[in-house]
Structure formats: structure tokens, C-alpha cells
Amino acid sequence: MKIHRFASSLITRLVLFGIFVVVASAILRYNILINFLENDQAKVAAEQQSTIASYLAQDIGYRIAERKTYLERLSAHIPPGLSADPAAMREWLREHQELQPLFAQGLFLADSAGTIVVDYPTMNGRRAISLTAYPDYQRVLAGATVLGEPLLSPASGHPTLPMLTPVRDASGQVSGVLGGTIELDAPGFLEHLQQARLGPSGGFMLVSPARRVVVAANDPVLVFTPVPTAIADPMLDRALKGWRGNGIGRSANGVDEIKAYASVPGTDWLVVTNLPLASALPTVDRMRALIARGGLVQAGVIFMLVVLAYFWFFRPLRRAAALADRMTRGEIPLSPLPVIRRDEVGHLTMAFNGLLARLKQHQSELQHQAHHDVLTGLPNRMMLADRMEEALARARRLESGIALLFLDLDGFKPINDRLGHKAGDQVLQEITQRLRQVARRSDTLARVGGDEFVLLATDLELPLERGARVLAEKCIKAVSEPLMLGAAECPLGVSIGIAVCDGRCDPDSLLQAADKAMYDAKAGGRGCYVFAPDGIGCGHVTISAREGTEGTNRPAGSERS
């Protein structure tokens, strides 16, 4: 029992509700703050990655453009006829290479057939290379300066980047090709970029979309390796198809990373920077711990506040509930509860007091309705039975008699059918008023059916029939008086069955006898009264005819046939 009361207690529910609110708010706050912090920091980190990627792309583009411009100037300033003298040409290349060594593997000159005729510095195997094997060689012969695709140098075995520009003769025709090769990891080119780090675990890659290969990276293992497939790295695949920007994506090894993509000016290359999401958001874990500790402290504080609030604010409510419980058990009578404070609890108590007052009034109304007819306000069968019991007991005690007059209206059904139930209700209410004027103060007038009334007359002297006859005649006269409904006069009569008794009879038998006598009055012409035969009391059959009107109109179920 105590466990049930504890489970149903308001303080238990309030405490559980408080804990729920704290937990829910902590979870909500945790998710909102963490998501906000993650999104905000991820956005900042992504912008930073974009800035770094753009810087790297611009730097690489600048270094490539610098070498391209330098190579084109050298080609334009080769002395006429110098290319025909290999020794002089090699000396000229040496001077310019040592003066400005932008190409780490030196310069070389090839004839129009693509054969390298002179180079500086001389590298084993370079002169055996034919430039016609390069896909872009024909573009060079057409007059364009070409940055070749990265490749492993056949001479050195290192990743190199070839650059070719046409050499023109005095007539402007392409007579040869001037070229230079750059080692990707050479000082002054991409060496410092390959040594760079983006945070403790971030990095960058220089990717050739055409070949789908990594040109350079801060991780040497990745150089000249194929890029991940579209399934392994969807964001990189979008970037290879032309998209540029930043965002959060999953790497080929399944790690969430902040990535940024930027194009290298003057090339179709792509710079990719990446930083693991966990490394980019170092404060998120600290914030998680802080929120967890704050949630526990808040839960404890709210728990204590809820308990104190319950004992302080709901003390009047507990007292009112205890009093109401005692009223329910019948230990104290129903009475208004005391109002201590004019707060919500006080308002609830006043509302309960108002409800209690209305309940008492409603009980009184229900008790009245249970014993009275709703339309006429007369006693119903239930109250009539009680009154008959009392009347019979009184008759036996005082050695007097009673008479029961069973009245059934004649001509009520035509009125009800022709004018409607509302008019029928008005007729019943009017007849009730007339019969009340006939009945004595000690008598009971009851409505027991649609157009059926019972008049219980008490304290009659012998002979009992005489007093009952007087009452019956008065009832017939009162009912038969003209009845006006609107502008029409409605004829109405009544048939009465009478049963008398000196107190030594049964209430049901008395009522049945009067009812049967009323049937006999109906059969005898209506508008009259008939006494019940001997056997109910001290009565005999007597028919007193009065002029009545035959009726056929009453509410359904109330007309006697």
C-alpha cells in the first residue's frame, strides 16, 4: 500500500518530472551546443582549409609560371645560328642555368625531329630520349609552350615535371624545342610544400585530374599513386570533375575529414588539403565533459528545489486532500475546505468548494427528479408508492380510510396528434393546475403515465365512497371545463377508476383495482367514474355518468384503449 502511494505520490511524479526535464534539457543542450560548436568550428576550419589550399595552389602556379616565362625568354634570346654549334650552345645553356637555376635537372635543346642534341648539365641517357614520345610534343611544334604531365625521369628515376617551348629561326618557323625538367621535390619548387603539415595529422596533395594520379604530397608514399575511387572518396571525385570548394567528407580509409579543393593557375592540377575532423575540433571533447558535469550539478540542484517546493507550496493542498479524504470516508460531514493562500492551490480549493456546493444542489435536484415528474412537477410512481405506504399505515393507526382515484384523460390523443407534442405538454400542465385545485392539502396528486394521473385521498370518514365520489365529480368538472389552445377550443374529459380501503390492503392491489375500474369507466362511456368491486376495501361498483368527450389523442403509450 505504501509502495503504491509512493508511486502515485505527486512528489514522486514531480521529482521524476524534474529529473526528466534535467536529462532532456541536458541532452537537448548537449546536442544543440555540440552540433553548433562542431558546425561552427568545422565551418571555420573548412574556410581555413580553403585559404590554405588557395595559397598552395597560387604558390605552385606562381612557380610554374615563373619557369614557363623564363623558358620562353631563353628561347626568344638564343643567338641565331647558335643551335648549329653544339659546344657553343651547351656553353650558352650552362651560363643561363648557373645564372638562374630554376630547372633543377637543367636545360636541353632538341631538333625538330625531337632528338635532344645538347643538354646541360649532361645526364646519362637524356640524349637518348626522343620527345616525340610525349603526347604534347605536336602542340610544341605548333608554337605552344607546354607543361608536360609529371613522370619518373628515365635518366634520374626521380619524379620530374618537363616543360617545353618552341625555338624559332629567323623566319619565325619552329626549328627546335627548348626544354627544362624540374624535380618535384627540388629545393625552391615543391620541397617546402611536401614538408608542410596542416595540424598534427593533416596534409595536402597535388593531383592531376587528367591522369587521376597524385603528383605531390606531404606523404612521400602517396606520390605517383592513383587517387581513390568515387566510392571511396565521393568528394574528391566531384573535385576531379570540376567542383571546387570545401566540406566534410570521408576519406578512403574511413576517417571524417575537413577537405578543401583549389585549382592551380595555368594548369589543370588540383590542390587538395585535408584535416581529420577530430583534429580540427579540439574543444568539442572539452565542451562535452563540461556539459556533462554541468548537467549533473543542475540535476542535483533541481531535485532539491523540487522537493522543497513540494513541501512548501503544496502543503495546503496536502491538508485539503486529507480533509477531502476524511469526508469521503464519512468521518466528517461535507463542508467547504479552508483556503489558506490565494494562489493556484487556493484557486483549486475554492473550485472544489464551488463544486461541492453544486454537488449538493445537484443531489437535491436528482432526488427531486427521482420522485417527481419532469413536465408537471407532480410526484411520480416511486413517490406515490411511498405516499401510499404512509397513507395505509396512517389509516390503520387512526382507523380512517383512503381512496385512490385513477384518472385517464379522454380526448387527449387528437390534440397531441393535431397540434403536436408541445401543445400536448401545455394541456398536461393546465390539467395538472386544475387537479391541484381540486386536491386537498393532505392529498397526493401524481402523474403515473402519459395522460394518467392518480389522486390519493387520505383521512376519509365512513362511508368512504362519499368522499371519493365528491372528489371524482370535482375532477370531472375541472377537466371538462373549456380548454383554449391559441384561438381553438379543445374538448377534454376524464375517466376515473376509484378504489377505497380502510388501511388493511396492499398498495399494489389498490392501484391495480383503481386501474381496472378506470378501464371499466372507459368502457362505460367515458367522462365518468367507476368504483372498484368489493374485495379491496369497503367499496362497491358505482357508475356516475357525466357528459364526457370521447378522445383519441395522447402521447404514444399513454392512451388507454
> For residue 40, what are the contacts with CB-CB under 8 A and spacing of at least 6?
none
> For residue 81, what are the contacts with CB-CB under 8 A and spacing of at least 6?
none
The C-alpha atoms of residue 264 and residue 68 are separated, in whole angstroms, by 14
Q: Where are the alpha helices (DSSP H) in 100-133?
A: none
- Residue 256 bears catalytic tag: no
Among 324, 319, 346, which Cα is nearest to 335's? 324
What size, in residues, is the chain? 561
Region of 271 on the Ramachandran plot (φ > 0 left; ψ -120 to 50 alpha; else beta): beta
- Three-state SS for 108? strand
The C-alpha atoms of residue 188 and residue 331 are separated, in whole angstroms, by 102
Side-chain-facing half-sphere of 408: CA atoms under 13 Å: 30
Instruction: Find the helix or strand (DSSP H, E) in which 531 lies.
Output: strand 528-531
DSSP assignment of 149-208, as one string? PPEE-TTT-SEEEEEEEEEE-TTS-EEEEEEEEEETTSTTTTHHHHT--BTTTBEEEEEE
> Residue 167's beta-bridge partner residues?
176
> Residue 483's beta-bridge partner residues?
490
Among 14, 10, 13, which Cα is nearest to 305's? 14
Q: What is the DSSP letter of 529?
A: E
The active-site residue out of 185, 451, 502, 520 is 451
- Sheet strands side by side (includes 213-217): 213-217, 203-208, 270-276, 256-263, 245-250
Cα torsion through 184, 186, 188, 189, rounded to 10: 0
Task: At 155, list the grid cell.
Answer: 635518366
CB 401, CB 537: distance < 8 Å: yes
> Residue 79's beta-bridge partner residues?
none
CB 337, CB 323: distance < 8 Å: yes
DSSP assignment of 237-305, as one string? HHHHTT--EEEEEE-TTS-EEEEEEEEPTTSS-EEEEEEEHHHH-HHHHHHHHHHHHHHHHHHHHHHHH
Q: Residue type for 502, please? A: D
Catalytic positions are 451
